Amino acid sequence: MKRILMIMLAVALSSPLLAKDIRHRFLINNFMGKSLHYVDQFDSSNNWQVKLGQTAMDMQLVGDNQVMVNTSKGYDLYDLKTRKKTKSFSSKKMRGIKSMRRLADGRTFFANQNGSIYEFDQNEDFIAEYKMPKVVTYVRLMRFTPKGNLLLACNDGAFEISLKKGLQPEERLVKSFLIPRPRNAYMALYAPDGNAVYVSGGYSKGFYTFDPEGKLLKDTVISQPEGLHNFFYAGFQVMENRHIVMSNWTGHSRKDFKPGLKLVELDKDHNVVWSWNEEFGGTVNQVIVLDELNTLKLNEDTSGILR
């Protein structure tokens, strides 16, 4: 515990220099503005915005230059070139959907806020509903593990869940990754080498690294410039160079908005090497850095790296 506190203090007091030459092309979900933004730091004339039909929390590149964003009962698809909605899918079986993931075999999974997981086949016919253990409360995002389990980010941390058929809800819990300041964890992923699990801690304002058995190894708190605030650590992406780009969501609306860096990029030691904070971004809860990605094919992060 003493070692963990020393790491927290070192990270909180550090003020690393930002790399001036780092630029990205990326998609962000603007929660407050109910909109999707494309940002090109190499040529801002390429920037664009699309208004969404409702507030979204999750998004995924699913091929054919299309991005999928969740709706309360399913998803909408948008074409990245035309910026037009190309498809909507919903099911009467679902409500309160917060996250969705499509797999390479065409199946799509949805997670609702109360902890039910819904599976649909490649033709979008319903396959199964999976009830979750009681510890799984207020689900944000779900991600698959290399072993085919799920990582669900919830109030108290992240929980690895088995989708094996025939299990009772309490039998589905495989591992727990409990954050030290419980308050609305948002997303979790296994690191690319499988030797760690990353968890963005929501209102706890920590980005946490655990060993595979749930022991806390590192608690990263971003040092914000004067006048800016950490508010809610939300969606993140691990890139090919093992850097992590994370969103800092800053409020539901203007009423509770807190100014802060909207995006930060952490190097392998979790030093901040890049940040983004344009006013038009509103409040950002999810990001996809497009630099190395092929938008013509499905992108998923089961291996830890989005590719």
Q: What's the mean pLDDT when you consider all of the chain? A: 93
Q: pLDDT (tens digit, 9 = 90+) per residue, 248-260?
A: 999 998 889 999 9
Listed in sequence order, the residues at least 6 apart from 276 whose beta carbon sits closer than 8 Å to its beta carbon are 24, 39, 261, 262, 263
Q: Flag whether 305 is in a domain.
A: no
Q: pLDDT (tens digit, 9 = 90+) per residue, 62-97?
A: 999 999 999 999 999 999 999 999 999 999 999 999
Residue 197 CA to residue 215 CA, distance in Å, equals 10
Q: Flag whether 31 is in a domain.
A: yes
Q: Flag whether 92 is in a domain.
A: yes
Percent of the chain beyond pLDDT 70?
Answer: 93
Q: Flag whether 152 is in a domain.
A: yes
Domain that holds residue 43: 2-289
Helix, strand, coil fractions of the chain, as percent rounded to 5: 10, 40, 50
Kindly state the average pLDDT of the residues 286-296: 97
Q: Flag whether 307 is in a domain.
A: no
Residue 77 CA to residue 67 CA, distance in Å, equals 6
Q: Measured over all CA atoms, what is the biggest interatomic distance in the chain, rounded to whole angstroms?
A: 54
Q: Flag whether 296 is in a domain.
A: no
Residue 238 CA to residue 241 CA, distance in Å, equals 8
Q: Flag whether 186 is in a domain.
A: yes
Q: Flag whether 77 is in a domain.
A: yes
Asked if pLDDT for residue 9 goes beyond 90, the answer is no
pLDDT for position 19: 56
* CATH code: domain of residue 139: 2.130.10.10
7 or 233, which is more confident: 233
How sure is the predictor about 57, in pLDDT bands with cuts at 50, 70 and 90?
very high
Kindly state the average pLDDT of the residues 144-151: 97
Asked if pLDDT for residue 150 goes beyond 60, the answer is yes
Q: How many domains does the chain have?
A: 1
